[in-house]
Amino acid sequence: MSHETFVTAAAMIAQRAKEKGIAKDDEKYQKRYALSGKIICGECGATFRRRIHSSTHQKYPAWCCNPHLSDTNKCSMLYVKESTIELAFITMMNKLLFERKLILKPLLEALRTTSKDSNLLKIKELENQLLKNTEQRKTLMRLMAQSYLYPALFNKEKNELMMQADGYRTEIEVLNHMVTGDIAIAAELIKLLHFKDEIRMGHPPYGYKIENRQAMPDEVTSAHVQKFLKNYLSDLSLTTAAKEAGFSMKPIVEHHEEPFMQAEYIYSLIECELMDNGS
């Protein structure tokens, strides 16, 4: 494609977007995928965009930094495969859910009490200060009306009180946003804590058995599984964590590019070993 053709095509696209009322980088068009607008570049701070990449044998989705796509000199961050991001997200979710009593519940309690109460108390104090400021301005106006103050002094005192009032209002607004943000975070934490109850699994988790439609600890395997999970959460590799917990896994190879299918495949390796050695 020649440069002239490219410029003409870009102009036509821009004109059609203008006719349809589509603005560039409009937030409306940045939320097509679950991760849209949520992946932030660690180098330049911009958001990532989803694209389809091609290799010799296949096509795969990947996420790329927006400034890097427009100009590699602006940001050197390379693309990340979507499957890699999904696997990292699943690992993070598993760790949070496994340690929810140590991480999520204390955080939720802190948001419900300390942060909210202290901010609300500070807002109340600022509102009282704002009321006092209003009374001071009224008094100042009365003194000026009765000719007890020179105009220059009146203007100086009035401006100082107005600036002080603006400062109070700004701080109150910031604290209100913080309280609202804490409430929103607390709501999301509650969803995350209840998320485990909504999961529907095709098989019972390691170390558990299904009784009356509930996952109950299986004494035979639970000790091994607990050790395996603790090893894995301490940043050991999956194979090393399994080995130190007493499981002998077959070599792991990448049978599936889709992370969920690969996870099911890895599960089958451990399951086979459990059936073979009975532990």
How many helices, marked H, and strands, marked E, lie in the chain? 9, 5
Give per-residue burial for 83-102: e unless 16+ CB within 10 Å, then b: bebbeeeeeeeeebebebee
Residue with tokens 């009321």: 131
Q: Mean pLDDT, to the nearest integer, of 86-98?
A: 82
Nearest CA among 30, 62, 64 for reference residue 44: 64
Kindly list the domain boundaries of the chain, sorted by start residue: 1-30, 35-82, 104-198, 208-277
For the chain, the average pLDDT equals 76
Q: Is the pLDDT of residue 74 over 70?
A: yes
The answer to whether 105 and 193 are in contact (CB under 8 A) is: yes
Q: Mean pLDDT, to the nearest integer, of 259-264?
A: 62
Q: Mean pLDDT, to the nearest integer, of 208-220?
A: 64
Kindly report, residue by residue over 184-213, the tens digit of the pLDDT: 777 787 877 777 655 544 455 556 666 665
Q: Is the pLDDT of residue 125 over 80?
A: yes
Within 8 A by CB and 6+ apart from 188, the residues are none
- Indicate the pLDDT class of residue 129, thresholds 50, 70 and 90: very high
Q: Mean pLDDT, to the nearest integer, of 109-133?
A: 81
Kindly report, residue by residue over 1-59, the tens digit of the pLDDT: 567 777 777 777 777 766 665 555 555 555 578 888 889 999 999 999 999 998 888 89
Type of residue at 189: L
Q: What angle do CA 250, 275, 248 make, to 5 degrees?
A: 30
pTM greater than the 0.85 cutoff: no
Q: Is the pLDDT of residue 68 over 80?
A: yes
Cα–Cα distance for residue pair 32/41, rounded to 1 Å? 19
- 3 state SS of 53: strand
